[in-house]
Amino acid sequence: MTPDVEHLLRTEAPQVLGALVRRFGRFDLAEDAVQEALLAASQVWPVEGVPENPRSWLIRIGYRKLVDLLRSEQARRRREQQAAAADPAMHEPARQAEPAQQTDDSLTLLLLLCCHPALSPTSQVALTLRAVGGLTTAEIAHAYGTTEPTMGTRISRAKQQLARAGARFTAPTDADRDSRVAAVTQVLYLIFNEGYTATTGDTLARVDLTREAIRLTRMLHDRLLDDPEVTGLLALMLLNEARRTARTSRDDELVPLDEQDRTQWNPDLIHEGTELIDTVWSRRQIGPYQLQAAIAAVHATAPSPEQTDWAQIAALYLWLERLTPTPPVRLSRVVAVAKAYGPARGLALLDDLNGRHGLDQEPLTRQRERAVRAHLLHMTGDMAGAATLYREAAALTDNQVEQRYLLDRAHRLS
Amino acid sequence: MKYLLLSYTPAAAWDAATADTPSEEALAAFAAYQKFEQELAATGEFVTSEGLGHPAVSTTVRKSPDGVVATDGPFAELKEVLASFAVIDVASHERAVEIVTRIVDVLGEPIEIRPIMGEDFTA
């Protein structure tokens, strides 16, 4: 199969799936039907040429496969004399909700479906990458450092959960649309972060997942231009992605922000990201993604680490902490305050936050809390204290690149 | 007065591998039917007509002791299944039969004529 055909199939697959699911419901079977249609295309097209309208070709074949799958399922059901009432998948309470606002956009609906509240975040992520991103089970498994059978099980379980939860695909009502979009942005952000900082394994950045997350977020942004948080998320991703090459050294070591070669930052991505956040900021419907994007924009536009407007960043983190009072955000505020007003103020704030929120106990921050405290102690001149804490931090991470970086720091101090 | 025309097809024919590759004769018959449909549109007797999806993609909603339940699939498995429908608005039942006779003559498959109970039938 030529790369062109492969690319075409990958872009068309979610559209075809969306069309089938919208019309006939049954996400689980529709997904199988689309896979079969793709398989058929990969066998037929190289021989007979790509049809004039590939999408309708795929929809037609997919529809036929779906009929086959439904028929064999219905036949089996009859054979087993299984009463409809005994099968929870077949249950659906009479719909009394207000009819949802109709939209012709299958892709957005597919994204909303994959991020259905009945699914766990890991299932949402896997299903989104598979059904909307068009990645194969093997690709997703590889990206998450797990085996193909494990990922396959996770995806098919997600499809079953979806079948049990909703039985059929329905567009969200206006009332829960916002929370569903929020779930989608969270999943996209998870995918991006997994790609940006791999939690396990040897390589710091996983290019495929970051790109995939940006591609999907762009897609969502194109369709929901009026959603400020979707815009904020896209800006945030672009601004982080702009620094990707500068983030690791040639021998795969982590390079912290203030040591990065700023000439390596991608000016096009920075330009696009800052423009997006500037435009949406003026609408004054500020949310967490916009705040994080604004912080990233302050970093991205600073000519050097010394000329960074840390006071503004500290203020933005305080705002972010009010909206999302999570341990990582609190810890980031500590860093910004220390940069803006000196390590002593930073340490005092860290002690205060530890006393009230236990950042040194929280699973999400206990490792970084040590790294930050080590850095602040280092700045105040307490070399021995800093070295001990760097070692403690290193012992708490599974990411080998980060571990090497922290041990190297400790080594240089002692 | 309006009539609903229900066109049936053998379920086996719909499932046959050849279902998607109509023969020359079938295409010619369909073209003849479409021409006739245009004629009826011109006389104002044609209201609407649509082809239907495979019965397997239908959903049946029924009341059960547990509440209203939606089940995938047709209400019953039949040898002959509904394939398309049309609505015509004609002067008499005789005219409806006349029209349907021409369609069946061309297309070959049976069509059921059901009167639509409009105001003139309420008495």
C-beta pairs of B32-38 under 8 Å, 24+ apart in sequence:
B32/B106, B33/B103, B33/B106, B33/B107, B36/B102, B36/B103, B36/B106
Q: Does B66 contact chain A (CB < 8 Å)?
A: yes
Residues of B in contact with A92 (CB under 8 A): 69-70
Number of helical (H) and strand (E) elements in chain A, helices listed first: 19, 0
Residues of A in contact with B66 (CB under 8 A): 85, 91
Per-residue pLDDT at A386 exceeds 60: yes
What is the Cα–Cα distance from A282 to A295, expressed in whole angstroms?
16
Query: What value does the mean pLDDT take over residues A270-295?
Result: 95
Place of tokens 């997600």: A158
Per-residue pLDDT at A8 exceeds 80: yes
pLDDT on residue B121: 59
Nearest CA in chain A to B54: A67
Q: Of A94, A107, A95, which Cα lies nearest the Cα of A16? A: A107
- How many CB atoms lie under 10 A from the CB of residue A47? 6
pTM recorded for the entire structure: 0.69
pLDDT on residue A130: 85
A–B CB contacts, 8 A cutoff, strictly below: 51
SS3 B88: strand
Of A64, A70, A91, the CB nearest to B69: A91
What is the Cα–Cα distance from A271 to A276, expressed in whole angstroms?
9
Show the tokens assigned to A15.
């559209």
What φ, ψ does residue B62 adopt, rounded to 5°? -140, 160
The ipTM assigned to this model is 0.76
Residue type, A391: R
Half-sphere exposure (CA, 13 Å, Cβ side) for B12?
A: 1
Q: Which residues of A303-321 are buried (b: 16+ CB within 10 A; e: fewer)?
A: eeeeebebeebbbbbebbb
Query: What value does the mean pLDDT take over residues A222-229?
Result: 88
Q: Looking at chain A from residue 142 to 201, which residues have their Cβ under 8 Å from any Cβ of chain B?
A: 167-168
pLDDT on residue B28: 87
Residue type, B78: L
Show the tokens assigned to A241.
């992605």
Residue type, A358: G
A272 with A224: CB under 8 angstroms? no
CB–CB of A93 and B68 under 8 A? yes
Distance from CA of B76 to the nearest CA of A (A): 10
Per-residue pLDDT at A27 exceeds 90: no
SS3 A115: coil
pLDDT on residue A121: 82
pLDDT on residue A10: 83
Per-residue pLDDT at B85 exceeds 60: yes
State the best of A63, A65, A67 to mutate against chain B, taking most chain B CBs within 10 Å.
A67
Best mean pLDDT range from A77-81, A117-121, A204-208, A375-379: A375-379
pLDDT on residue B123: 41
Q: How far is CA A251 from the centre of its chain?
A: 27
pLDDT on residue A97: 31
DSSP H or E run through B9: strand B2-10
Distance from CA of A349 to the nearest CA of B (A): 58
User: Which tens digits make up the pLDDT trace of A327-372?
Assistant: 989 999 999 999 999 999 999 999 999 999 999 988 888 899 999 9
Cα first-last separation, chain A:
57
- Share of residues in chain A with pLDDT > 90 (%): 40
Q: Looking at chain B from residue 94 to 123, which residues have their Cβ under 8 Å from any Cβ of chain A?
A: none
Identify the weakest region by mean pLDDT among A190-204, A334-348, B104-118: A190-204
pLDDT on residue A205: 43
Query: Given pLDDT bands bounded at 50, 70 and 90, which one contains residue A168?
Result: low
SS3 B70: strand
pLDDT on residue B5: 94
pLDDT on residue A203: 53
Of A71, A85, A93, the CB nearest to B56: A71
Distance from CA of B13 to the nearest CA of A (A): 14
pLDDT on residue A270: 96
Q: Does A79 contact chain B (CB < 8 Å)?
A: no
Select the more confidently predicted residue: B85 or A89.
B85
pLDDT on residue A241: 92
Show the tokens assigned to A341.
């007003």
- How many CB atoms lie under 10 A from the CB of residue A33? 26
Q: How do B46-51 and B80-89 pair as beta strands?
A: antiparallel
User: Which tens digits make up the pLDDT trace of B31-54?
Assistant: 888 899 999 999 999 999 988 888
A292 with A320: CB under 8 angstroms? yes
Q: Does A115 contact chain B (CB < 8 Å)?
A: no
Per-residue pLDDT at A238 exceeds 50: yes
